[in-house]
Chain A
Amino acid sequence: MLEIRDLSLALPARTDHSDADIIAVSNLSLRLQRGRVMGLVGESGCGKTLTAQAILRLGEHQGIRRTGGDILLDQQSIFAMDDVTLRKMRGGRVSMIFQEPMTALNPVFSIGSQMLEVIHLHLNLDAEAARQHAIRLLQDVGLDDAGHLLQQYPDSLSGGMRQRVLIAMAMSANADFIIADEPTTALDVSVQKRIIALLRNLQRQRGLGMLLVTHDFGLVAEMCDDVAVMYAGEIVETGSVEDVFDHPAHPYTRALMGCRPEINPPGTPLPVIEGNVPAPGLWAAGCRFAPRCKHADQACAGKVALHQWSRHQHQARCVHVEAAESC
């Protein structure tokens, strides 16, 4: 199990003024289990990427600091890992797939040399066995003529092919968990569909635990077992996809799902959420969504905890959760 426990992250200290921490992710808890896909959704700037990157301790070199909480991989804190263990953990036990397949591959090295580097880091194989392994991985992700592909450079591949190569690399060491941050956003619809099908098949075959960061509810409906909705650095609702789609509890979840054109009659004005996601440092003291919420009142001024909503594991962070159900 991969467990984020009460995690808080602060942005890099600004040189211009005060030394108070600017918190961008606060007291966030999430649990990934092998064999299950968890979707992490929310508007741009909510902190989804910061959270995803924290799992591999990737934000640290940009000055993102952990100010509280922990991340446990099978009970072991990733913050207690030394450099060697950490490097083996990345890609070896937890892999990441990024939004931009263009920038995640190095243009000056062939596909083969980049894949073999990853394979040699994690697996103890001789040169020929490693090559065979790379070929098998490429075939697994639907790339034919893998032998030839190994000699090619990223430039000569389409976006969809690059993303397949990155998925193959993410699978190269039998990691148990995959963190996918908007893995298809940069791709064409038809290519998106194939990449999603590929990810889902691999996830099922290998029993992977997956965190799928996306702002696309269609993708959540398509792929996920569970979903966590994030707003202003915290989880505001979490539960199984069925529960959250059938009985969204938090006004933010409802509003976000309600904006989708596919659930509104053609040509009618779409419901909107007025205003913007507040930047870190500008969050309201009580419920952070209250300034944009149609149901907000005095009760929202105090601190709001996540609390269990009608069904098992379905939680929402809203004092009006009961009221919201009836309207």
Chain B
Amino acid sequence: MLSVEKLNKIYHSGGLLRRGQANHAVKDVSFHIAEGETVAIVGESGSGKSSVARLVMRLLPANSGQIHWRDQEVSQLSEHHLRPLRSHIQMVFQDPFASLNPRMRIWQSVGEGLRVHRPELSRTQRRDEVAEILALCGMDAAILDRYPHQFSGGQRQRIGIARALIVRPKVLVLDEPVSALDVSVQAQILNLLQRLQSEFNLSYLFISHDLSVVRHVADRVLVMFNGNVVEQGSVEGVFSDPKDAYTQKLLAARPVAHPSERR
């Protein structure tokens, strides 16, 4: 579904004067995600996980490496040629509302992708599609004409997921999708993601710093440190028998589930 090979990203700070430092944020990262599979990337901020997400989405140009969306190599495609393919892979952010226009009604924001990818639809058809997707995400049609403010964190994330799903992608890249939510709302959103995955056989690239969440949702996990993937494998394997020293440290730093486990 999605595969990347030897992806590299180097950021240059300090502008044109070449005095700034080069930051090798993503180093030779390779992985693939099969249909219906969830692959998680864990690591601290600055480890490169969000850069990987943005590279994969082609929101950021890579310095080298290959990116396959389904069967197509897209790392060098121009935006013009990329556009029709963008419906295959969509992104969900930590706070989707940061990217919503506050003056657009919910149905217009959620339906935006349809204007690009299914221009043949009439306004009414678009609105109906949005209502259908919102219902799938557990939101009532009554919100269609409301504006982005005045939604709770959980509702915002449902709307963000609906907005990504509207073009019927096969892959969702989720960057910290539940990090800003209460544990009760987090549970609702994780359940929703699981239901949508089995219903549409979606593939997820799930970026999170929360190891408990990752263990719950992912099939496989990549551990990133300083731009490198230091370990990857099945979730059970990595969690029960971490090989890399950094992974071991990360797992040891997990919060305890019960006061009796205090160290």
Which residues of chain B are within 8 angstroms of A219 by Cβ–Cβ distance?
255
Q: Decide: B44 and A189 in contact? CB cutoff 8 A.
A: yes
7 cross-chain pairs, A with B, having the tightest CB-CB distances, nearest first: A218-B255, A261-B216, A270-B187, A259-B187, A262-B212, A193-B253, A241-B259
| Complex interface residues of chain A between 241 and 285 (CB less than 8 A to chain B) | 241-242, 245, 255-256, 259-264, 266-267, 269-273, 276
Q: A261 is contacted by which of B213, B253, B262 (Cβ under 8 Å)? A: B213
Which residues of chain B are within 8 angstroms of A259 by Cβ–Cβ distance?
183-184, 186-187
Interface string of B178-194 (1 = CB under 8 A from A): 00001111111011001
Could you tell me the distance between the alpha carbons of A245 and B260 in the complex, rounded to whole angstroms? 10
* Cβ of A190 under 8 Å from chain B: yes
* Cβ of A188 under 8 Å from chain B: yes
* Cβ of B201 under 8 Å from chain A: no
Q: Decide: A43 and B259 in contact? CB cutoff 8 A.
A: no
Interface, chain B (partner A; CB < 8 A) = 44-45, 152-154, 182-188, 190-191, 194-195, 209-213, 215-217, 235, 250, 253-262
Closest beta carbon of chain B to A253's beta carbon, Å: 12
Q: Known: A242-B259, A266-B216, A272-B191. Contact between A188 and B183, CB under 8 A?
A: no
Q: Decide: B215 and A262 in contact? CB cutoff 8 A.
A: yes
Interface, chain A (partner B; CB < 8 A) = 43-44, 188-191, 193, 215-219, 221-222, 224, 241-242, 245, 255-256, 259-264, 266-267, 269-273, 276
In the complex, what residue of chain A is closest to B239 when comparing beta carbons? Answer: A266
Q: Decide: B215 and A266 in contact? CB cutoff 8 A.
A: yes
In the complex, what residue of chain B is closest to A275 when comparing beta carbons? Answer: B184
Closest beta carbon of chain B to A223's beta carbon, Å: 9
Could you tell me the distance between the alpha carbons of A263 and B235 in the complex, rounded to whole angstroms? 16
Which residues of chain B are within 8 angstroms of A218 by Cβ–Cβ distance?
212, 254-257
Which residues of chain B are within 8 angstroms of A270 by Cβ–Cβ distance?
187, 190-191, 216
In the complex, what residue of chain B is closest to A258 when comparing beta carbons? Answer: B187
Q: Known: A188-B209, A190-B250. Contact between A269 and B182, CB under 8 A?
A: no
Q: Decide: A261 and B261 in contact? CB cutoff 8 A.
A: no
Q: Decide: B209 and A272 in contact? CB cutoff 8 A.
A: no
Closest beta carbon of chain B to A244's beta carbon, Å: 9
In the complex, what residue of chain A is closest to B262 when comparing beta carbons? Answer: A222
Could you tell me the distance between the alpha carbons of A55 and B194 in the complex, rounded to whole angstroms? 42
Q: How many A-B residue pairs have CB under 8 A?
A: 97
Q: Decide: A260 and B257 in contact? CB cutoff 8 A.
A: yes
Could you tell me the distance between the alpha carbons of A190 and B251 in the complex, rounded to whole angstroms? 10
Could you tell me the distance between the alpha carbons of A260 and B186 in the complex, rounded to whole angstroms? 9
Could you tell me the distance between the alpha carbons of A190 and B186 in the complex, rounded to whole angstroms? 21
Q: Known: A189-B209, A266-B215, A272-B188. Contact between A260 and B183, CB under 8 A?
A: yes
Q: Decide: A216 and B255 in contact? CB cutoff 8 A.
A: yes
Which residues of chain A are within 8 angstroms of B250 by Cβ–Cβ distance?
189-190
Q: Decide: A221 and B257 in contact? CB cutoff 8 A.
A: yes
Q: Decide: B190 and A215 in contact? CB cutoff 8 A.
A: no
Which residues of chain B are within 8 angstroms of A272 by Cβ–Cβ distance?
184, 187-188, 191
Query: Would you mind naming 13 contact pairs between A and B with Cβ atoms under 8 Å apart?
Result: A216-B183, A217-B257, A218-B254, A218-B255, A218-B257, A242-B260, A255-B184, A261-B190, A262-B212, A266-B216, A266-B235, A270-B190, A272-B191
Q: Decide: A245 and B259 in contact? CB cutoff 8 A.
A: yes
Q: Decide: B258 and A189 in contact? CB cutoff 8 A.
A: no
Q: Known: A262-B215, A270-B190. Contact between A215 and B259, CB under 8 A?
A: no
Q: Decide: B187 and A271 in contact? CB cutoff 8 A.
A: yes
Q: Decide: B194 and A256 in contact? CB cutoff 8 A.
A: no
B210, B213, B256 — which one has the most chain A CB atoms within 10 A of its CB?
B256
Q: Decide: B187 and A221 in contact? CB cutoff 8 A.
A: no
Given contacts A189-B211, A193-B255, 14 further A-B contacts (CB under 8 A): A43-B185, A188-B45, A188-B209, A189-B209, A189-B250, A217-B257, A218-B212, A242-B259, A245-B258, A260-B212, A261-B217, A266-B217, A267-B194, A272-B191
Closest beta carbon of chain A to B108's beta carbon, Å: 25
Q: Decide: B209 and A221 in contact? CB cutoff 8 A.
A: no
